[in-house]
Structure formats: structure tokens, C-alpha cells
């Protein structure tokens, strides 16, 4: 019988420099939005993310002067990811506009973030606020951590979208995207290559994340195609802070936000094993990925690209990373 990797490995996860996650399937369909009869058509870009963020830390190189001045509006600016994107955008030389959309409780309030005051608009005045922002900041790019359907609220202003869509913020790191793309290629070209192997999956996230990681599910799907039998309900979820510290090795300062994953394959006779792991601490890597997405969209808008929906695979293929 195969021995559990939780017993054979003293520190199940070791800190690693190349975390990976999953990317949604690319969709190339053009998104058209009805144009209001009372207003002329307005065009802006939307970077939309739709899952609870995971964390890591990364220091980016200084921005080039050509990035300076691209206007972006960061919605949910009072949230942890919102603040991280604002800081990353400012550091990259983007023009982070002092306007944001938020909840009813925050509507009409001003919040200081990174030395700048942001006026938050609630759902009721969202349309008028966006129209005003578009008039004041041409070529505005909106960063919104929400569900993709939320962009439908903008239909009445006659907007045309260039959109980034994600199923999770983990997609925002291009090296993560590259890893999963390689996994998917291997699964497609070598189906059944690991038939007979057993798989153990462990993932640790902050206690507030109650469900299994979409990242883990995507990687497991690749292993399934490679011939490994494994059900999603077999994922071992670690949410207890003490276990995360003592067994997983999560740094104490990142207990409130991290994503540590391990995938352990064992041959039928226990003589061969493979192990994949990715450890993520801090939010800055995903904020930096958001900035990369903004720069990519700005480039596509300037080139008048007809495509309307992108993901980080597009950024990766174009080599559009700083």
C-alpha cells in the first residue's frame, strides 16, 4: 500500500519560486452592446475578475515611460485586491482615476488609498458616474473584480467592450498560465500516460475559503485525461491555521491569504513517484498581472483590434509582460 505523502514528507510544501494555477478556455467571440438612442457610443475596456483572490508577493521592475497616463478605474477600491491594484497601477505609471464603484454602504463616501482620495459610487448612480468618468478620462479601462455578467449593467450607456475575463485571480500570473497550458498540452497529446498511478492532492488556503480551489480542479482534470482516477471530493483541504503553520509550512504573516497546493503521483508498485507543487503568498503578483492585462488591453485598443474578449493566454502568446 502506498504511504501517504503527509507522513513521508516532514514539510509537505516548500516555498517555491514558480507558482501555477489555471486559465479559463479562450473565448474569441465579439461582445456587442446595444447603443443608446440618446447617447453616442462610448468605448472602454473592462478587466473583469470573478473569484476570491489568492496571494503571493513579487517585486516588479520600474515601469517604462510609455506606460504613463493610461487611465484606469479600479472598482471595489476599499477591498484588499482593489488596494493592491491601485498601488501596482500607480507604481507602473498608470493614471488611477479617483472614482470607484462600490456597495450601497460605501456610496457617496470618500476613502484615502495610497495618498489619493477616491469617491465611491453605489449601484443607484453607477450609470451617471460611468458616463461622467468616460467624458473626463477618454480611453478609460475599468478593473472590476466581479462576475462577468456585471458588465451588463453598462448596456444602457451604449458601451462597446474590450474585455478580459477570468474564473479566478490566479490566472493573472503568466507563468502560472504557461504551466497549466503545458499540462493541458501533455494531457491532450499523451492521454493515459499515467494510467494506474494513484494521486493525492492537498491544498491549503486561508480559513475564509471554504470550497476547493478551482486551480486544483483544473490541474486534476489534466491528470484525469492522463489516465489517473481521482474524484474532486478526494482533495484534502487544509483550513486550520495551526496545521497550515506546522504541517504545510505557511509563513505566519500569510495565514490570512495564501494558496499552497501539492499533487503527488505514485506508480502501482510504489517504486516511482512524481510531485508537483505551487505555493503562493501575498496579493501583489495578481495585482501586477492585472496591470499587465491593462497594458495589453490599451495596446489592443490603440491598434483597433476587432477581438473583444481576451485572457492571459493572449498576453502570454504576445510576450506582453513586464
**Does 205 qualify as catalytic in the annotation?**
yes
User: Is residue 300 within 8 Å of residue 43, measured between CB atoms?
Assistant: no
- CB atoms under 10 Å from CB of 143, counted, come to 29
Annotated catalytic, 175?
no
User: Considering 205, 225, 261, 264, which one is annotated as catalytic?
Assistant: 205
What are all long-range contacts of 14-18, with beta carbons under 8 Å and residues at least 24 apart? 14/249, 14/277, 14/279, 15/249, 15/279, 15/281, 16/277, 16/278, 16/279, 18/175, 18/179, 18/278
CA dihedral 72, 74, 75, 81 (to 10 degrees): 150
The rounded distance, in Å, linking the Cα atoms of 317 and 254 is 32
Q: Which of 83, 121, 209, 300 is catalytic?
A: 209
- From 172, 156, 155, select the one nearest 164 (Cα to Cα): 172
Q: Which residues are catalytic?
A: 205, 209
Amino acid at each position: 500500500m502506498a504511504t501517504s505523502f503527509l507522513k513521508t514528507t516532514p514539510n509537505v510544501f516548500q516555498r517555491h519560486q514558480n507558482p501555477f494555477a489555471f486559465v479559463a478556455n479562450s473565448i474569441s467571440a465579439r461582445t456587442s452592446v446595444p447603443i443608446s438612442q440618446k447617447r453616442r457610443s462610448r468605448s472602454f475596456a473592462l478587466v473583469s475578475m470573478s473569484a476570491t483572490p489568492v496571494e503571493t508577493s513579487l517585486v516588479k521592475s520600474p515601469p517604462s515611460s510609455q506606460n504613463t497616463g493610461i487611465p484606469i478605474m479600479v472598482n471595489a477600491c476599499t477591498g484588499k485586491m482593489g488596494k493592491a491594484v491601485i498601488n501596482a497601477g500607480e507604481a507602473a505609471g498608470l493614471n488611477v482615476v479617483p472614482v470607484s464603484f462600490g456597495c450601497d454602504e460605501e456610496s457617496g463616501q470618500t476613502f484615502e488609498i495610497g495618498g489619493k482620495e477616491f469617491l465611491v459610487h453605489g449601484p443607484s448612480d453607477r450609470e451617471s458616474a460611468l458616463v461622467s468618468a468616460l467624458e473626463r478620462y477618454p480611453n478609460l479601462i475599468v478593473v472590476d473584480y466581479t462576475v462577468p455578467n456585471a458588465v451588463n449593467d453598462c448596456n444602457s450607456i451604449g458601451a462597446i467592450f474590450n474585455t478580459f475575463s477570468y474564473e479566478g485571480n490566479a490566472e493573472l500570473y503568466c507563468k502560472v498560465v504557461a504551466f497549466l497550458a503545458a499540462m493541458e498540452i501533455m494531457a491532450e497529446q499523451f492521454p493515459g500516460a499515467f494510467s494506474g498511478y494513484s494521486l493525492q492532492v492537498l491544498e491549503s488556503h486561508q480559513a475564509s475559503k471554504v470550497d476547493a480551489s478551482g486551480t486544483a480542479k483544473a490541474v486534476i482534470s489534466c491528470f484525469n485525461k492522463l489516465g489517473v482516477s481521482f474524484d474532486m471530493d478526494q482533495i484534502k483541504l487544509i483550513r486550520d491555521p495551526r496545521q497550515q503553520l506546522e504541517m504545510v509550512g505557511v509563513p505566519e504573516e500569510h495565514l490570512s491569504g495564501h494558496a499552497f497546493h501539492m499533487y503527488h503521483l505514485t506508480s502501482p508498485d510504489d517504486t516511482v513517484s512524481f510531485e508537483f507543487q505551487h505555493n503562493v503568498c501575498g496579493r501583489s503578483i495578481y495585482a501586477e498581472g492585472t496591470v499587465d492585462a491593462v497594458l495589453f488591453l490599451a495596446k489592443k485598443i490603440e491598434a483597433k483590434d476587432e477581438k473583444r474578449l481576451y485572457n492571459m493566454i493572449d498576453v502570454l502568446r504576445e510576450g506582453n509582460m513586464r
